[in-house]
Amino acid sequence: MSFLLDSLPARALVDYHSYISKASAWKIIQEKDFVMTLNGGQASLMNFLFLKRNIKQSRFSYIFSLLKKGESITIPIATEKITSIEQFLKNHDKVEAGYTPMPLELDLQSTDLYAFNMDIDAITFHTVNSIETVRILDSLTSTIFLHGSGINSRAIRVLQKGEDKFLKYFLVTERDSNRFIGMCAFLIHNDMSCFYCDGILPAYRNKGFGYLIVLKRLYMLKELGIKKVVVQAVGATSQHIYKKLNFLQKGSIRLYIYDSKRI
């Protein structure tokens, strides 16, 4: 039974959370009409509920009862048309509409990366593969995305075990100062890669680094023979960068947040 997410970039969101949940030993609840991933923290940042096409409204009381007191969870819905399920979520007293990421896709093999004429050596990637590098990642993401500290250390535990063959998180430094300026990530799934966690510290924004962290990964993946790259671009700046690099929009998604503490 397929999920309520149709486009390739949208389905990549399911692939990413399925992979990271298993690799980091999260709690996974999988039933005939939904899959839930719970990382052990209360925040919705890594807790996700993926609905399948046969889901019924009557199931939500049971689904939400699976959450511990104080937990919240993100529910992605494809928004090409308003379904009865989405309307139900909109009207639920403990659910609020979150941000709307833009699903984008690039045919990497037919893209001439040299045509962009950017100096990708102006930044350096450092693989997150130890407790210490995860701590630095935590510091960067809490500043950039304004979430609580320690989330990555608790949730993405696979990164502390050393190199992962398919999931890569990178700390980014700039050449001139050798200071950390941001982070990025990708997951390889068959001949496709999904981009995640693009972020630049406020002091280094609007200087072209956003383009470089995308382009540097594209060069890496093209050498590996990856054919397509997909991303959920959040915010006007991120969407602008990806579109300038020839990514095309594929469908639309809205994220809904169920918060058990919400009155």
The whole-number pLDDT of residue 140 equals 92
Q: Which residues contact 153 (CB under 8 A, 6 or more apart)?
A: 131, 134, 135, 138, 160
Residues of the chain with CATH 3.40.630.30: 106-249
Question: What is the side-by-side order of every strand in the sheet holding 180-189?
Answer: 123-127, 167-174, 180-189, 192-200, 228-233, 102-107, 248-249
Question: Residue 256 — φ and ψ, nearest 5°?
Answer: -110, 145
What pTM value is reported for the model? 0.89
pLDDT block averages, 10 residues each, the chain of length 263: 70 85 86 89 77 92 92 85 84 90 94 96 95 90 78 67 84 96 94 94 96 98 96 92 96 90 77
Give the right CATH number for 106-249 from 3.40.50.10280, 1.10.10.10, 3.30.2270.10, 3.40.630.30. Answer: 3.40.630.30
The whole-number pLDDT of residue 89 equals 93
- Structure confidence by residue, pLDDT tens digits, 209-230: 999 999 999 999 999 999 999 9
The whole-number pLDDT of residue 18 equals 86
Find out whether 53 and 3 touch, Cβ atoms under 8 Å: yes
